[in-house]
Amino acid sequence: MSDKTQDNSPFKKPTVAVTGASRGIGHAIVKEFHNSGWEVFTLARTPFSDVCPWAEGIVQHIEIDLADPVSIRAELKRRLGNRGLNALVNNAGISPKAEDGGRMSATGTSLEDFQRVMMVNLMAPMMLCSELLGPLQQAKGAVVNVTSIAGQQIHPFAGSAYAVSKAGLSALTRELAFELGDKGVRVNAVSPGEIATSILSAGTEEMVEQQVPMKRLGSPAEVAEVVSFLCSAKASYVTGAEIPINGGQHV
Give residue 56's pLDDT.
Answer: 61
C-alpha 52 chain-centroid distance? 18
Q: Rounded distance, CA 149 to CA 157, Å?
A: 11
Is the model more confident about 178 or about 42? Answer: 178
pLDDT, tens digit, for every residue of 2-33?
A: 444 444 444 579 999 999 887 789 989 999 99
Is the model more confident about 74 or about 241? Answer: 241
Q: What is the mean pLDDT of residues 134-143?
A: 97
Query: 3-state DSSP: the chain helix, strand, coil percent, rounded to 5?
Result: 40, 15, 45
Distances 128 to 6, 39, 124, 185, 246 between C-alpha atoms, Å? 22, 18, 6, 14, 27
Per-residue pLDDT band for 110 (boundaries 50, 70, 90) equals: very high
Q: What residues are labeled active site?
A: 162
Give residue 208's pLDDT.
Answer: 81
Give residue 102's pLDDT.
Answer: 78
Give residue 97's pLDDT.
Answer: 83
Q: What is the mean pLDDT of residues 92-103?
A: 82
Give residue 87's pLDDT.
Answer: 98
Q: Rounded distance, CA 116 to CA 195, Å?
A: 24
Residue 140 clears pLDDT 50, i.e. is over it: yes
Looking at mean pLDDT, say which of 4-8, 37-41, 52-56 comes out highest: 37-41
User: Is the whole model's pTM more than 0.75, yes or no?
Assistant: yes
Give residue 212's pLDDT.
Answer: 80
Give residue 100's pLDDT.
Answer: 73
